Structure 1
Amino acid sequence: MNYYHSKILEGKDFDAVRTEVEAALKEEGFGILTEIDFQATMKKKLDKDYLPHVILGACNPTYADKVVSIEPHISTMLPCNVTIREMENGNIEVTAIDPATAMAVVDNNDLIEHAEEVNEMLKNVLKAL
């Protein structure tokens, strides 16, 4: 079972894809809470070179409120990560976590309905690209 969904985009600029991803997330009601520049972090911490790669911590406040109200410790699994990375062949891959799969380990059926709804929203983001 995959714990993520991804889409590969050919012939696009990394920064342009990032702009598209952020717009598609906003359209689905997500904001960006965190950002990790994986490329810069690996260079700084390990002096290792990576192609452009960012991790965006996306949050839909309505759904975050719903799941934290059901299970307060679920906040350890928030926000939903969406990654954008340049591949060796120059293509850009956008990947989003499958929150339904991730939250299945919590064993609380009340969460699954919401996680599946968020999962569909994240898949819509990828479709929009």
Structure 2
Amino acid sequence: MNYCITRTIDTTDMAALKERVVEALKTEGFGVLTEIDLQATLKKKLDKDHLPHLILGACNPVFADQVVTLEPHISTMLPCNVTIRQLPDGKHELAAIDPAAAMGAVGNPAVEPIAAQVRDALQRVLEKV
């Protein structure tokens, strides 16, 4: 089982792509809680050069409430990361965690249908962009 969902986008404008991702997340009930510029962080901390790479920490509060109610320690797996990274050819790749794969490690069957719903919502987000 793959641990993430991916899609390649034929654009060189990362800022506009990020806006499209954030808007698509909103349509599925997600908000962006965190944003990490991985390229800048690795340059600052390790003085290493990388292509642009953003990590958006996305949360759908309805789904989060449901899974935390069933399994409190699942909060260690929240929020759902959605990444935008520039590829060597200038295109960009979107990737989102597959919650069904990640939360399968929890071993609570009650979490599985919720994780599948979140995976489907994140898949729709990537398709909308």
Query: TM-score w.r.t. structure 2 length?
Result: 0.98
- 1:49 is paired with a residue of what secondary structure? coil
The CA distance in 1 between the partners of 2:65 and 2:9, in whole Å, is: 33
**1:80-123 alpha-carbon deviations (Å, 9 max, x no partner):** 00000001100000000100010000000000010000000000
The CA distance in 2 between the partners of 1:11 and 1:128, in whole Å, is: 15
| Structure 2 residue aligned with 1:33 | 33
The CA distance in 2 between the partners of 1:11 and 1:74, in whole Å, is: 35
The CA distance in 2 between the partners of 1:96 and 1:50, in whole Å, is: 20
The CA distance in 1 between the partners of 2:34 and 2:75, in whole Å, is: 14
| Structure 2 residue aligned with 1:75 | 75
| Structure 1 residue 51: Cα displacement | 1.1
Task: Give the gaps of 5 or more residues in structure 2.
Answer: none
| Structure 2 residue aligned with 1:17 | 17
Task: Work out the percentage of aligned pairs sharing the same amino acid.
Answer: 57
Aligned positions of 1:1-129 closer than 5 A: 1-129=1-129
The CA distance in 2 between the partners of 1:84 and 1:101, in whole Å, is: 20
Query: TM-score w.r.t. structure 1 length?
Result: 0.98
Amino acid in structure 2 at the alignment position of 1:125: V
The CA distance in 1 between the partners of 2:110 and 2:31, in whole Å, is: 24
Task: Give the gaps of 5 or more residues in structure 1.
Answer: none
